[in-house]
Every structure is written in C-alpha cells, then in structure tokens.
Amino acid sequence: MSHEAAPLPAVSRKSSPLSGKIRVPGDKSISHRSFMFGGLASGETRITGLLEGEDVMRTGAAMKAMGAHIEKHGDEWVIRGTGNGALLQPQEPLDFGNAGTGSRLTMGLVGTYDMETTFVGDASLSGRPMGRVLDPLRQMGVQVLKAAPGDRMPLTLRGPRHAAPITYRVPMASAQVKSAVLLAGLNTAGITTVIEPVMTRDHTEKMLQGFGANLSVETDERGVRHIFIEGQGKLTGQTIAVPGDPSSAGFPLVAALIVPGSDITIENVLMNPTRTGLLATLQEMGGRIDVLNPRNEGGEDVADLRVRHSDLKGVTVPPERAPSMIDEYPVLAVAACFAEGETLMLGLEELRVKESDRLAAVATGLKLNGVDCTEGEATLSVRGVPGGKGLGAGKDAAVKTHLDHRIAMSFLVMGLASEKPVTVDDANMIATSFPEFMDMMTGLGASIETIRAA
C-alpha cells in the first residue's frame, strides 16, 4: 500500500480564484459501517457512493477474510453477508493499515466471537491507544491474548463461549468506543447498554436500526444518551447510498473561503447534525456558505454547499462543539490563519490520539509557516493574517505529516492563500480518505503538485 512506499512530498502555491462544482467522495464513517454491517447481515446489501479510500478497503478485506462476499458491479458494491453471529475466524492477521475506525469497530464486532483474531496496522495505527476499546471488551469476557505495551497493536483477541452483556458509560467523547461496544453487543445474548454523556456521530445507531437490529435510544433530562441493543437478533441486507463526506468537504470549503475571488459548489454533502460543527464555526467566522437544496436521502440529511471567498474573523470555538467537528480542527486552524484576530479552539484533548498528535502537528506546521499560534494542553489559539502576507515556508521547509492524511491536506490548502508556497513531507496518506483530492483541487484551479524525486 502506498503509505509503506517512499514519502511523496507535495507543494501548494498562491492560487487564482477557485471555481466549479464538485462531489467529494462518500462519507468514511458510513462507508466503513456499510462494509461491516453488509458483511454481517443476511442477504444482499447494495452500496453506491462508497468511499474507495485505503482505510475502507481494509475493512472490506477484513470482512471478506471473515466470510463475507464483496464484489463491485459497475458503480455498485454488492455484498452477501454471513448472517449475524456467523463470522469465520480469519486465517491471517487482519491488517487495518492506517484505519482507527476500521480496527476499533472490528475489535468490537469480532471480539465476542469464540475465536482468535489478530489485528495489525501501520506505524501510526500501532501507536494509537486501543485500551479504550479493550477495557469494555474485557468486561464482556474477551481475552486479550497478546498486545504491544500500553494495549497497542499488534494484538490478538480471543472471545468467550458466551459473552456477558454490560452497561458501559463511555469515558471520553468517542463514536468508535461507543460503536465497538454496541457491535460487541450484537453477538451477546441479552441487552448491552451504552451510556453516552456527550453525543458523538450516530451512524452506528441509525444504520444498525436500518439493518433491523433491535436498538433503541433514550435521552435523559441531562441530555445523556442511553443506547440499548439486544444481541443475537437478525440483520437483513440493505440498499445504501453513501452521502458525501463533510470532513473531506472541509478541504475545498476552506480553500474557497481563503482564496480571493473563489466561488465553488460542493454537492451532496452529509448534513447529519453530529457532523456539522465546522460549517457552524465557519459561518460564525463570517464564511459565505449557502446551504442549498437541503433534502433527506436514505435517512440522512444532505445538501449542496455554495462557498465564496470571505473576510473571516476569529471566534472562540466552545469545547462542546468538538465531537461534531473532531476531524476538522486542522483545516479550521488553516482558515483561522487568514482571519482577522484570534481564533481560540477549546476541548481538543482527543486530537492528541488521532492518526497523529494533531494538536502538536498542526501547531508545529503553522509555526514553520510563519503563523502566530499557541498550543495548550487541550487548546489551540491562532492569530490570523488576512491576505496571508508573510505566511508560507517555501519549497525547502516541509511540514511533517506523521502519516496523517488530514495534516497533509490541511497544509496543502494553506498554501493556496499564503504569500509563499507551503510544502508537506508526504502526500501518500491522502489516499486513505480522499484519493481524488489532488485532481479535484487542481480541477477547481488550485495550484498543488507532488514533488517527485529527480
């Protein structure tokens, strides 16, 4: 896979106005879950709009290795699942590459099976904490036969004969942890309960209900969600149209806001309220973003976004907004570089355990490119330079991306409005979530190119 290949640096330069209409690839969270739930359900699941990024393909390969049939017919992915409770022990370790969502959700999905499963990944994934998923699984009776120090991958799980249903209060705002426990509950007799004090993306709940799981949600008077799933029920194949990924849309969106004269439209973007924090923040900053043609497709809100260059101003982003824009802080920080005044982002502790320590990676990259910013334990403040004068470190000083696709894309967006070019050390990882990024951005008029070794 490309992230085991030699690094591929890339550079972006001040661009003329961006214009055009684009469709970003399918939502990554929904794409992973489509392969997983389709691979597990009885009968046929048909998926259009799937993100064909490396991360999602790893999940597809894992489901195949456990007995699902997955094929592509034209634009459609067709899956014949094993039936709930009938996954097979994989013959080889499951290699999840860079994918936290794929690996953590699959640990939940198979952890309660009476079989052995080994999980491996790349250097970034092998550095990420898995204890947050293993702790509740242990409570259900799952044994962690082997793990690298600190509950890290590579690791091997062995499920019990009969897993125990638990009630689990998720200690951090994490849709992956919530989902892992719910998926473990699918293969556990009785009712597994997840208590979610802070709401995170709800794709697992909505999609499992769509596949026929007996799952219900009650929200108490303090806004705490109680999610109940009854195990060992039947799941039935579905037809799914995956909407455009709002996290991927964030890159052309911020690019159009900061490049003078730009006017672009991004069609078919997922508008699930657990995912729209970036949009709300950019609108508060004065971003001219029109939400056009709002509609509901297959149970999810979607819309087209018209985005025009805007004079942005700094804002304070409250900590409670973090779950609805957790993957978008790197690109928000880039927007903040071109805003009048200071943007203060609060409640960022989870950024430390993403594909990289994103808080450190962003702050270091911004400083390298001449931005006045301050990194706190769980905060970031950025003082902007409208017009981008003095920003950009040129072609010889590259931002370290630490195998993190969103760090690479965010800094390539930054260069489009900076006085001097912005360079990143490796653009390979972009293929994990947004393989079309370079072509789509250059198609809008962005000046971005990879730098091949002479």
Q: In DSSP terms, which residues pair with 142 in a beta bridge?
A: none
The count of chain residues that interact with ligand S3P, using the rule CB under 6 A, is: 10
Spatial neighbors of 367 by CB under 8 A, at least 6 apart, are: 373
Q: Using CB under 6 A, which residues numbered 11 to 40 contact ligand S3P?
A: 29
Q: In DSSP terms, which residues pair with 191 in a beta bridge?
A: 230
Spatial neighbors of 271 by CB under 8 A, at least 6 apart, are: 246, 291, 294, 300, 301, 302, 303
Which of 327, 328, 404, 425: binder of ligand S3P (CB under 6 A)?
Answer: 327
Residue 234 annotated as part of some ligand binding site: no
Spatial neighbors of 41 by CB under 8 A, at least 6 apart, are: 81, 83, 84, 211, 212, 235, 236, 237, 238
**Torsions phi, psi of 15, nearest 5?**
-115, 155
Residue 100 annotated as part of some ligand binding site: yes
Q: Considering the complex, what minimum distance in angstroms separates the CB of residue 132 from ligand S3P?
A: 8
Do 20 and 73 touch, CB atoms closer than 8 A? Answer: no
- Alpha-carbon separation of residue 186 from 52, 84, 99, 215 (angstroms): 26, 8, 22, 10
Q: Considering the complex, what minimum distance in angstroms separates the CB of residue 356 from ligand S3P?
A: 12
> CB atoms < 10 A from the CB of 18, how many?
26
- DSSP character at residue 26: B
Q: Considering the complex, what minimum distance in angstroms separates the CB of residue 131 from ligand S3P?
A: 13
Do 76 and 49 touch, CB atoms closer than 8 A? Answer: no
Is residue 122 a contact point for ligand S3P (CB under 6 A)?
no
Annotation marks residue 327 as catalytic: yes
Sheet holding 152-158, edge to edge: 94-95, 116-120, 152-158, 143-148
Do 342 and 381 touch, CB atoms closer than 8 A? Answer: yes
Residue 406 annotated as part of some ligand binding site: yes
Is residue 176 a contact point for ligand S3P (CB under 6 A)?
yes
Do 391 and 370 touch, CB atoms closer than 8 A? Answer: yes
Is residue 174 a contact point for ligand S3P (CB under 6 A)?
yes
The window from 2-10, 12-20, 170-178, 358-366 that contacts ligand S3P (CB under 6 A) reads: 170-178
DSSP 100-151: HHHHHHHHHHHHTSSSEEEEE--HHHHTS--HHHHHHHHHTT-EEEEEETTT
Cβ-based nearer residue to ligand S3P, 357 or 372: 357
- CA atoms within 13 A of residue 185's CA, in its CB half-sphere: 27
The window from 110-118, 169-177, 262-270, 310-318 that contacts ligand S3P (CB under 6 A) reads: 169-177
Do 124 and 355 touch, CB atoms closer than 8 A? Answer: yes
Cβ-based nearer residue to ligand S3P, 322 or 413: 322
Q: Considering the complex, what minimum distance in angstroms separates the CB of residue 76 from ligand S3P?
A: 22
Is residue 128 a contact point for ligand S3P (CB under 6 A)?
no
Build a one-symbol-per-residue string for 66-105: x at contacts with ligand S3P by CB under 6 A, - elsewhere.
Answer: -----------------------------------x----
Cβ-based nearer residue to ligand S3P, 53 or 231: 53
Instruction: Say if strands 76-80 and 69-73 run parallel, antiparallel, or are unpaired.
Output: antiparallel
Which of 183, 194, 326, 422: binder of ligand S3P (CB under 6 A)?
Answer: 326
Build a one-symbol-per-residue string for 396-435: x at contacts with ligand S3P by CB under 6 A, - elsewhere.
Answer: ----------------------------------------
Cβ-based nearer residue to ligand S3P, 33 or 309: 33
Q: Which of 327, 404, 425, 426 is catalytic?
A: 327
Is residue 175 a contact point for ligand S3P (CB under 6 A)?
yes
Report how far Cα 12 is from the mean position of its chain's Cα atoms. 23
Build a one-symbol-per-residue string for 335-374: x at contacts with ligand S3P by CB under 6 A, - elsewhere.
Answer: ---------------x------------------------
Cβ-based nearer residue to ligand S3P, 171 or 261: 171
Do 95 and 59 touch, CB atoms closer than 8 A? Answer: no
Which of 3, 58, 201, 275: binder of ligand S3P (CB under 6 A)?
Answer: 201
Catalytic residues: 327
Binding residues for ligand S3P, per CB under 6 A?
Answer: 29, 101, 174-176, 179, 201, 326-327, 350
Report the binding-site residues for 3-phosphoshikimate: 28-29, 33, 174, 176, 327, 354
Which residues does the annotation place in the binding site for phosphoenolpyruvate?
Answer: 28, 100, 128, 176, 358, 406
